[in-house]
Structure 1
Amino acid sequence: MSHGSVPRRTLLGAVAAAAGAGALTAPAAPAVPAATPATRRGPGAPAVENRFWTTSADWRSGTPDGVRTAGGARPSVVVARPAGRLDHTDPHTGRTGSWEYATWTSPEHRTRVPATEIIASWNADTPAGTWLQVELRGTYADGTATPWFVMGRWAAGDTDIRRASLDGQSDGRSSVRTDTLAVDDPASAVRLVAYRLRLTLHRRPGTRLTPTVRRAGAMASAVPHRFTVPASAPGPARELDVPRYSQNVHTGRYPEYDGGGEAWCSPASSQMVLEYWGRRPTAADLAWVDPAFGDPQVCHAARQTFDYQYEGCGNWPFNAAYAASHHRMNAVVTRLSSLTELERLIAAGVPVITSQSFLPEELTGAGYGTAGHLMAVVGFTAAGDVIANDPASDSNGAVRRVYRRRAWENIWLRTKRYGANGAVASGTGGVCYLYWPERPTPAQRRVLASLGIH
């Protein structure tokens, strides 16, 4: 499965075979202007809007059917009196179970961005005996609506259901690509101008168990098709002290979770950033891991992010949900418009997990190519070059890399690149994960608010 044509795992050998293909070079451009809390757009950059429901007022604005709003420091939606019961057969185990359910449906959110892509995120707790389904329904500019598309069937554990995306969802104009609702032909006039989310909370019948949903929302963006992006001026130097974990030392481990190595870039990156914030799995969490394996927390993160439909650990919202559920964090998937926005986050002490693809010759010092890879950006040098904890390394000690600003900026923010034999392949256009604690500092709160994230 893929996002566009970019598999959500590193494919080092396949891209290395395309090393003869060329890439375009962009001329220098002025620095991107300061972000605003609403729609953000730098020169030639994607327009991006974030909307997340998190407050008591947010939850009350939706339509409940069997749920209630729970108060406290982190308002949430929980099951009150179930709306009904259903039998669900898990396609990945063949087991049929009976579940009570209740739903919360958001009000329609009119985006400031006529969008070509929408990516949902959620932060929830799902104790054993519960699970959550997240759906999204988009509205086109002509007023017609998509069906309710399933964006994820999710549980923090894997004993009740197998967390999974759902293949084959399309209405002929837009399709779900693993975790992203995307207009099929972004060069056309088709745009999504509004959306609703629907949360279905499931629990074992006759119990008082409940999922607890603390955040739900989406990032809508209009993604330009471009091979190159404008260059930005360097900002302040800073490097965050983020732990370093190699994905490659896990090669061959747990084939049922895609076998470590180049498939584990996303959970390895997630684990690095979670431990920066002081969050680690407990000894009980790690008891299932073979004690002969080093860095068992990376194995744990792989298991807890594995998408049984996609058959990999690179589902973007599943990584964010893992971070939030297991570690009492806030976590979203979003898109940044510029390297300047990323620098602001680093300056505030927030590392950023970025998704990109590139040929071997496009990123000096990487030593590999990839059709889709996650790494943690942890700082910038005085010259403005990017300091990344790149898990595609042979040891933890080799994870820290410094990549040239211009090259890294382009491979992350572009949406097209050259592939094998000069064919055009896709890039992510600035997709990233943001994880931050329940109580951010004022500086962290301000920079997140400037991105429209509260």
Structure 2
Amino acid sequence: MRRSLAAGLASVLPLAGLTACSATDAPDGSAVVLAATSDRQIELSRWDTARQWRKGETAGTAVDGGDLVFDSAVRSATAAGRSYDVARWTSPWVTTGFDYTELVASWSATTPKDSWIEIEVRGRDGSDRTTWDTIGRWASGDRYLQRSTDSGQGDDGTSVAVDTWRTPGLPAFQLRVRLARRAGASYRPRLDLATVMTSRVPSTAGPTSQAGPARGVVLPVPRFSQMAHRGHYPQWGGGGEAWCSPTSTSMVLAYYDALPPARRYAWVPAGHVDPWVDHAARMTYDHAYDGTGNWPFNTAYAAPLAGKAFVTRLRSVREAEELLAAGIPVVASIAFGPGELDGAPISASDGHLLVIVGVRDNGNVVVNDPASSDRRHVRRTYDRAQFERVWLDASGGLAYVITDAAHPLPDPRAATNW
């Protein structure tokens, strides 16, 4: 890498790279009216069909239906004292329409028995290439592998902040996926979907968007409270204020009637309210970050249950309305200080997730806020301008988009981020 590329790291926007959940008491998108559209550059690249997977370079992987699967070992690896066979897939170089400063990869995968996947990315500027950086090592279960990320890796002007890859501004990227299974085994880890969201967005919200196609729409998303789990399972974050992300993810799964079967959370003692939330916390826990707020770990948990799920950024509440109008609730990452979000159940948070479920006739935003003390108070209405500001200022409009077969995405030609 040229020294000029590495030196540019200081110019990266200071957006949050994770959600802490800790409270302190077409391409051109012309079909949507957006807030500060020209300043919010967002692209989502996705691989989820046989044709798309075949555009990448395979090494021991194969395409089965619309999935990428382990086929044969091309190398070996050791983890936790055990030996694994490894195959891999590498995407083509993807050139974005701008110099992106942040990248978030997400995926839908199944890893039977003692198998797992590892996600890596690298960037390019002209003839200069960064090194490969690891975004995460993930498995469907936690019997054999502790899911984890590797923050840091700042050797070439880029760095990893839990789930986010930060750059000084690069025009291209490449994604690599390693699929690993216990040496000599015959089961086949597989990917149904991989996405990469690249963005360059300002650190302030800009003008408030106007109400649009979801005006008057409120989706019947079930209500769960993270606070009902206060003190549960310290080894997975301890519930309460730490579990906003798995609680929000579980609300969307419940809306799709896609919560895990009872046998999956039979280990939760009788008497625990909404035991599927305890299960979701365990299944999304990042052992390196020490929390359940890892964005792609949450969508990776949700995807096999519902159908599809990924992490992206939206440019405004108006853009979220396109999804709401299609029957798709949106999990949003916000942060706010005292007096910045009227009617919130907590006075401030340096990172919080909730579910956008609708828009009132006057344009204000209806949410399921899991920080409420009980289910009855989870449904809230927030001022549109306040909400849009604490969402776009805090995370650049970071969102989980989870869909099922009955609720497909709106026409992707109308947006670049789904």
Regarding TM over 0.5, the answer is yes
Cα deviation 1:61-81 (Å, max 9, x = unaligned): 11111111111xxx0111111
Q: Superposed, which structure 2 residues align to 1:320-331 within 5 Å?
A: 320-325=299-304, 327-331=305-309
| 1:166 to 2:130 alignment | no
Aligned AA (2:231): G
User: Which aligned runs of 4 or more in structure 1 are off by greater than 3 angstroms?
Assistant: 3-7, 40-45
Aligned AA (1:182): R
Given candidates 178, 181, 187, the residue that maps to 1:200 is 178
Give the corresponding residue for 1:315.
294
Pick closer, same or farther for the CA change 1:86–1:331 going to 2, 3 Å: same
Alpha carbons 1:45, 1:229 under 8 Å: kept: no
Unaligned runs of 5+ in 2: 1-13
Given candidates 73, 91, 100, the residue that maps to 2:85 is 100
CA drift at 1:44: 5.3
Aligned AA (2:21): T
Aligned AA (2:227): N
Pick closer, same or farther for the CA change 1:308–1:364 going to 2, 3 Å: same
Pick closer, same or farther for the CA change 1:328–1:126 going to 2, 3 Å: farther
Supply the distance in 1 between the matched residues of 2:416 and 2:253 (Cα, whole angstroms): 22
Give the corresponding residue for 2:6.
none
Supply the distance in 2 between the matched residues of 1:115 and 1:364 (Cα, whole angstroms): 33
Pick closer, same or farther for the CA change 1:245–1:138 going to 2, 3 Å: same
Identical counterparts, % of pairs: 39
SS at match of 2:88: strand
Given candidates 370, 373, 397, the residue that maps to 1:391 is 370
CA drift at 1:7: 5.8
Alpha carbons 2:18, 2:295 under 8 Å: kept: no
Alpha carbons 1:335, 1:430 under 8 Å: kept: yes
Given candidates 94, 115, 118, the residue that maps to 1:133 is 118
Alpha carbons 1:44, 1:230 under 8 Å: kept: no
Aligned AA (1:399): V
Pick closer, same or farther for the CA change 1:316–1:87 going to 2, 3 Å: same
Supply the distance in 2 between the matched residues of 1:440 and 1:59 (Cα, whole angstroms): 25
Alpha carbons 2:17, 2:164 under 8 Å: kept: no
CA drift at 1:11: 2.5
Give the corresponding residue for 2:9.
none
Aligned AA (1:313): T
CA drift at 1:4: 5.0
Aligned AA (1:221): S
Alpha carbons 2:323, 2:410 under 8 Å: kept: no
Supply the distance in 2 between the matched residues of 1:328 and 1:278 (Cα, whole angstroms): 8
Unaligned runs of 5+ in 1: 17-33, 89-94, 184-189, 415-426
SS at match of 2:136: strand
Give the corresponding residue for 1:26.
none
TM-score, normalised to structure 1's length?
0.84
Number of corresponding residues: 399
Given candidates 329, 342, 350, the residue that maps to 2:328 is 350
Cα deviation 1:61-104 (Å, max 9, x = unaligned): 11111111111xxx01111111122212xxxxxx3111011000
CA drift at 1:448: 4.5
Give the corresponding residue for 1:58.
52
CA drift at 1:276: 0.5
Aligned AA (2:334): Q
Give the corresponding residue for 2:415.
451
Aligned AA (1:341): E
Pick closer, same or farther for the CA change 1:248–1:146 going to 2, 3 Å: same
Q: CA RMSD in A?
A: 1.9
Cα deviation 1:377-416 (Å, max 9, x = unaligned): 00000000000000001001110000011111111112xx
Supply the distance in 2 between the matched residues of 1:268 and 1:197 (Cα, whole angstroms): 30
Aligned AA (2:74): A
Q: Superposed, which structure 2 residues align to 1:216-365 within 5 Å?
A: 216-226=194-204, 228-235=205-212, 236-325=215-304, 327-365=305-343
Cα deviation 1:330-353 (Å, max 9, x = unaligned): 001000012111111111111000
Give the corresponding residue for 1:22.
none
Supply the distance in 1 between the matched residues of 2:162 and 2:244 (Cα, whole angstroms): 17
SS at match of 2:264: coil
Q: Superposed, which structure 2 residues align to 1:40-119 within 5 Å?
A: 42-43=36-37, 45-71=39-65, 75-88=66-79, 95-119=80-104
Alpha carbons 1:197, 1:217 under 8 Å: kept: no
Supply the distance in 2 between the matched residues of 1:410 and 1:453 (Cα, whole angstroms): 20
SS at match of 1:116: strand
Aligned AA (1:335): R
Cα deviation 1:225-251 (Å, max 9, x = unaligned): 32x421111222200000100001101
Pick closer, same or farther for the CA change 1:448–1:322 going to 2, 3 Å: farther
